[in-house]
Amino acid sequence: MLLSAAGLFLLLPFYSHAQCDNNQAISAVQVDSDIKYGENINVDGDDQELFLDLYSPVGAGAGEKPLVILAHGGSFIGGSKDGDDVVPLANDLALAGYTVASIQYRLGVEGFPLAIDSSTASEAVIRGVHDMKAAIRFFRKSAQEGNPYNIDPDYVYAAGVSAGAFVALHLAYLDTEEEIPEYIDQTKPGLGGGLEGESGNPGFSSEVSAVVNIAGALRDKNWMTAGDEPLISFHGTEDGTVPYGSDMLVFLGFLEIFEVDGSKSIHDHAVEVGVPSCMETQYGQDHIPHVESEAYYDTLKVMTVNFLKGQYCDDEMVCQYGNPDGFSDLQAASDLFFFPNPSDGVIEFSRPISEVKIYNMMGVVVYEKKQNGFSAVHVPHLSQGVYLVQVPGENLTKKLMIRH
């Protein structure tokens, strides 16, 4: 079937390797559902076929398209490839010129709900990793066999939400056989095949060029080393499902599984070892706020498109929503920030300041305040849109979204 293109995204440029500088509107998105990409034995010991939904840009012109493999959330016991945590993003990335595969992966955790432990929980992640790798290999195989999906096999990106982000992160950074934890029983049906697994399409690469992490975590951030794939992360500071930093992963609100490294810890480690990394902190927010909040979704969508465009077109990091002329070097201090963002007209600062300026996207000052020791500003008169907040004399110039 065809989904009509959203008006907002018609303003965004279409990016393909030969057309990165060409503004070309996508007329629609074609969705092809339930394409089989593999199969493997699930947690119940049954053979399970694996399917994906493919979102393809229509009217994007000639040329192969970069591919995003997207995995849904659901704590490895629920969720689906057509869930509301992934479908809007799949559609909008296609509107931006990417081919997107929203994948099904094997769900279920042995011992659910009360006998889950670190081993069985880790095995659930590995099943997902094996399945996502099979999906990547499926498309690279198809590219060699006539390329019916018109993808660029050299530019494949892994993306995921919550549990799906666990899968994407582990696919990228758990990348040597020696790193596979000893407590994962690879002799169990459905867990064999080492890092690559046995979910289908052997003989093709499962490598990715970058990672989009939405509220995910790694079992061990030290698996990420210099030279690994760039990533962009989105995570709420008050996430009660997946830790924002390094903390215990708690299942069903009471069952402690193991300590994980959430997005903030992963980002800090990436910076330390020299892996390019963007981090969009969702201050004061719980788990995956983009599902309920149009403003947070807008930030997620546009920053993801900008990040992927930077990777695909220029091989550079793009970590921002967007700037007016004259603000090409956005900066954010580690000890000074403001929240909430998006805001309904009230923003608070992490410590007292003495001056602030707010600019519209034309570079015009629309609000200014000078006063010793204030820590909040009220700007309900500002219309809905994107602004820049600058604290003169401090290392802070950052985008603000106003949503009424």
- Mean residue pLDDT of the chain comes to 88
Tokens at 294, concatenated = 């149009």
Least confident range from 27-31, 75-79, 204-208: namely 27-31
Distance in angstroms between the alpha carbons of the first and the last residue of the chain: 34
Q: What is the pLDDT of residues 127-162, one digit of tens each?
A: 999 999 999 999 999 999 999 999 999 999 999 999
- Statement to judge: residues 302 and 367 lie in one domain: no
**Claim to verify: residue 244 and residue 390 sit in the same structural domain:** no
Question: Does some domain include residue 321?
Answer: no
Residue 152 in any domain: the answer is: yes
User: Do residues 223 and 273 share a domain?
Assistant: yes
Residues 382, 281 share a domain: no
Scored b (16 or more CB within 10 A) or e, 296-319 reads bbbbbbbbbbbbbbbbbbeeebbb
Between 63 and 65, where is the model more confident?
65
pLDDT range class, residue 294, cuts 50, 70, 90: confident
Read off the tokens for 256.
């402690």
Taking residues 199-208, report their average pLDDT: 98
Note whether 344 and 228 are same-domain residues.
Answer: no
Give the tens place of pLDDT for each residue, 185-199: 899 999 999 999 999
241 in the same domain as 268: yes
Average pLDDT over residues 243-255: 85
pLDDT given at position 98: 95
Range of the domain at 373: 331-402
Whether the per-residue pLDDT at 324 is higher than 70: the answer is no
245: its two tokens: 């930093």
Predicted confidence (pLDDT) at residue 69 exceeds the cutoff of 50: yes
Range ranked top by mean pLDDT from 15-29, 109-123, 198-212, 253-267? 198-212
- Does 325 reside within a domain? no
The 3-class secondary structure across 57-83, one letter per residue, is EECCCCCCEEEEEEECCCCCCCCCCCC
Residue 172 belongs to some domain of the structure: yes
Q: 264 and 360: one domain?
A: no
Residue with tokens 């982000």: 165
As a whole number of angstroms, the distance between CA 86 and CA 68 comes to: 12
Q: Which residues pair with 212 in a beta bridge?
A: 159, 232
Task: Write down which residue in 285, 314, 343 finishes a domain.
Answer: 314
Give the Cα separation of 90 and 204 in Å (integer).
24
Q: Is the predicted pLDDT of residue 14 greater than 80, yes or no? A: no
Question: How many structural domains are present in the chain?
Answer: 2
